[in-house]
Structure 1
C-alpha cells in the first residue's frame, strides 16, 4: 500500500493523487488534467509520477486506443532518466513498464491516424527506455535538428520536411544557407533502431513516417568541411541519455 502523503507531486504532498486516479478512471476530464499537471508538469516527473505507473497500467489495460492513461504513462516513462530522486522505485517498476510496453505495442497497428500512431510509437519507445528516439520522432512535415560534425565540430542543421531535406548552416538573419541534399538510407540497409522503426511504419501503412526515417537514419554532408556522416549516429552520440540502469554509449542505435 502506497502512503501518498509521504510522496511529492509537482505541487507538493501527493495525497490528492489516489482520488484523482479514481475519478479519472471514469473519464473525468478535470481529474485527468489534474493528473497531467501533478505527475508530468511540463515534462518533469517526480516520485509520485513513478508510484502512479502501476495504477496507470491497470487503467490502460481496460481502455481503447484513445486511452489517456497510456499517454500519461508514456510521458512519465520518457522522463525516467531525469533526476527525480526515486531510482529504487524505477527499478521496482520494471514489470509494470514491460506491461505498458506490451499494451502500447498491441495498439500500434494499421489504420491509425498519423498523430495517434506517432503518440503510440513514442510511448513504445519510452517504455523500452529509449527516450532519445521517443522525443526525436516527428511527422516529418517540418522537422529540424542540429548535430555536431564529427570531423570539424561545426553545428550542422538537418532539415526533413515539405520545405526540403538538407544539411545547412543556420544564419539567424538569412535562414538556412548553403543547403546540401541529404543522402537517405536505403530501407534494406537500415540497422538497429532505424530498421525496427522503419519496418513498423511500413507494416502499419505509415508511409510519411517511413520516408522521414530513411532521412533521419541517412547521411549528411557537413557544410563546413565537406565530410559525410551518419545523422542518427552523431545525434545519439551527443544527445542520448543512458538506457535504464546503464551508462551512455557512443552510438546507440
Structure 2
C-alpha cells in the first residue's frame, strides 16, 4: 500500500494523486486525467517520486485505458531525469513488466499512433534515452559531434536522403557523405530488437531508418567513420532533476 505522504508530485504534497486515481478508475474522467498528467508528468516530461509510486495503479488501469498506458510510458521516459528514478522503480518491476507487455500487444495492432507507443515500449524496456530522442525516421535530421574532431555533423535519415553533412545556413547541407546502414546481421541490441519489432509490425520505413541510425557515418571534416547511434546517445543523454 502506497504511503502518499512520503512522496511528492510536481506541485508538492501528493494527496490529490490517489483521489484522482480513484476517479479515473471509476470512469474515464478527462479532467481527472488532465490533472494526473499535470501532477505526475508536468509538461509531458517532468517526473517526481509520486510519478513512480503511481505506476502499479496505472498498470491495473492500462488494460482498459490507453491513457493509463500513455501516462506510464511518459513517466518511464523520465526515469533518468530524476536523481532517484532508477531506485524508485525497483519496487514496481512487476507493474512495469505488465505495462511493457501491454504496449507490445498494442503495437501488434498497428495503431495510428504507432510511433508514440513504440517510444513508450522503449521506455518500459529501459531504453530511456532512445524513448525520448527517437524520431519516426521518415524525414529527420540529427545533430551529433564527430568523436574524432568534434565538428558538428548533421545526419539525415528519411525522405531527403541518408547522409552526413556539414550544415551551412546559406548553402544548406554541404560535403555530403552517404551513410553506411548496418545489416540485419550486424545489428546489436537495442537496435536489433527495435528493428525486429518494427519489421514484425510491418513498419518497414521505421525498420530501414533504424538500420541507418545504428549504422555508421563519415565525418565531412576529418573523414573518420563513427557509429551514429553512439554519437546520438551522447548527444541526447537526459539531464537529471531533483524532483
The alignment's TM-score, normalised by the length of structure 1, stands at 0.85
| Ranges in structure 1 where 5+ consecutive residues have no aligned partner | 242-253
Aligned pairs for 1:113-124 (under 5 A) are 113=112, 116-124=113-121
Question: Corresponding residue for 2:7?
Answer: 7
Counterpart residue number, 2:23:
23
C-alpha distance 23-194 of structure 1, shift in aligned 2 (>3 A)? same
The CA deviation at 1:167 is: 0.8
In the alignment, which of 231, 234, 238 is matched to residue 234 of structure 1? 231
Partner of 1:248: none
**Which digits, 9 at most, give the CA deviation of each residue in 1:147-203, with x for residues without a partner?**
221221212111112222211112344432322222222233322211111111111
Match of 1:127 in 2: 124
> Aligned equivalents of 1:86 and 1:177: distance in 2?
42
Q: Give 1:58's aligned residue.
A: 60
Task: After superposing the two structures, state which structure 1 stretch, 215-224 or 136-145, moved more.
Answer: 136-145
- Give the Å deviation of 1:239: 4.2
Change (3 A) 1:238 1:140: closer
Counterpart of 1:32 in structure 2 is 33
- How far does the alpha carbon of each residue in 1:121-140 deviate from its partner, in whole angstroms, 9 at most, with x for none? 21121112111211232222
**3-state DSSP class of the match of 2:89?**
helix
Deviation at 1:44, TM superposition (A): 0.8
| Structure 2: runs of 5+ lacking an equivalent | 239-243
CA RMSD in angstroms comes to: 2.0
Deviation at 1:85, TM superposition (A): 4.6
Deviation per CA, 1:28-70: give whole Å up to 9, x if none.
111111111111012010011111111101101334xxx1101
Go from structure 1 to structure 2 and tell me whether the alpha carbon gap of 1:219 and 1:48 turns closer, same or farther (over 3 Å shift). Answer: same
Task: Say which structure, 1 or 2, has more relative contact order (CA 8 Å, 6+ apart).
Answer: 2
Matched with 1:245 is none
